[in-house]
Each structure stands twice: as C-alpha cells, then as structure tokens.
Amino acid sequence: MRGAGAGRVRVKTAKNRSAQSTRWLQRQLNDPYVRQAKAEGWRSRAAFKLIELDETFGLLKGARTVVDLGVAPGGWAQVVRKRVPQAKVVGIDLLPVDPIEGVTLLQMDFMGDAAEAALAEALGDAPDLVLSDMAANTVGHAQTDHLRTMALVEAAVWFAVEHLKPGGAFVAKVFAGGTDKELLVLLKRNFTVVKHAKPPASRKGSSEWYVIAQGFKGRADAGVGDSPSAGQADPQP
C-alpha cells in the first residue's frame, strides 16, 4: 500500500476526547488505506476491500446489474461505477447517502417489508451481482454481535438466491467463525463455488471476513433441505 512508510501521526486534540475516540482517530490518521482513499476520492477505505476482492475473484467482469446492500457511505458503489461504468447500480441503506453519479440510492431498511419490492422495481432486471458489506451495530458482546450481523447476511443470501441471474455472484461480510452452517449449505446448493477471503485492506485486528459465492445455479435449486454435495467450498476462517 502506497504511503505505508510515512511517519506516525499523533492526535493533537485528545484533551477533550474519550480514550476510545482518541484510539479510533489515531488509527484513522495512521491508516495508509484511509490516506489513499482520501487521495483517490473514495468515500471510505472499504473501497479497497472490493477492489482487492475483484482482483482476486473477477467479481465485476461482465457485470451489468449490481445491487449494493448497506451502501453507505458509498465506497463500494463508487468502485462498481469506475470499474464497470456501463453497469446499472442500485444501493440501499437505512442511512442517508450523498448522491453518486449513475447509482440509484434507496434510503430504507433492507430488513423492512417494502425493501425487496423497491429494489426489484429500481433494478428493472435480475442482478448478476449482489454485494453486502452490511454489519449490525455492535454492542460489545462478541456472540451477540456475530448473531446480529449473521441475521443481515441471511437476509442478503436469500435476496441473492431469489433474484440473481443464473451465473451470478454474491459477496457478503461475515465475521470470524465464517458463515453459519445452514447458510453455507444454502450457498453451496445454489452456487458452484463458495470461498472465504480476507482482503489485505481488512484490518489485521478485525474479525471480518468475506464469503464469495460464484456461479449461481438458478432458482430451481433454492433451498436448504438437502445435502450440498454439488458445489465447492473452502474451509471456513
């Protein structure tokens, strides 16, 4: 990462900050990905995670219709627009997101009853890539945080299974421990290849990983009831 060798920056306004806030700010100031994101115009350092995943797995090659679940602040949508400018991109988030040229943004709860229909209408066609960098707000209890985030992942998986074009792909953030067994079964039943990866831009101290599912088989195979013998999967993190 360019700029990684720069001198360490100290927080100069720590007097009226909490220790936690000071640590967070110091980490941001000394993070080469944060500096590079700012220099290149990305809205967040998370943009580099998708760039690195795309370089490894070719996720954006040939993509025409892309859904970004949990789009805020918009870094992943920016990457999609830059790498495949011809693609139609729809993002959804409970938080407001500043406009991104060429991206349709929906401010609503993805877990809400109206979200699925709103996304389908905005897309106008079945997506060939579903992205999810969603994570639940943490409460500081590892097991609870994991379960809350996995509920979002489960909803994202089912959205992908019910809407993707055959041959499409799905990417979602998970945490240490990988994808829950039942969701892994569902993914392996419906995709030809399922892998876990931790891109270099993911902080070393973070428990986050990403599950990458490629080669969607089509909705005829949707379900979790049978053995996932068809499909390949790597060991979980």
Which residues carry out catalysis? 173
52 vs 201: CA distance, rounded Å:
8
Nearest of 150, 158, 229 to residue 188 by alpha carbon: 229
Phi, psi of 169, deg, nearest 5: -135, 160
Find out whether the peptide bond into 73 is cis, omega within 30 degrees of 0.
yes
Which string of DSSP letters, residue by residue, matches the chain?
A: -TTTTSPPPPPS--TTS-HHHHHHHHHHHT-HHHHHHHHHT-SSTHHHHHHHHHHHH-TTTT--EEEEET-TT-HHHHHHHHH-TTSEEEEEESS-----TTEEEEES-TTSTTHHHHHHHHH-S--SEEEE---PPP-S-HHHHHHHHHHHHHHHHHHHHHHPPTT-EEEEEEETT-S-HHHHHHHHHHEEEEEEE--TTS-TT--EEEEEEEEE--GGG--SSS---SSEEPPP-
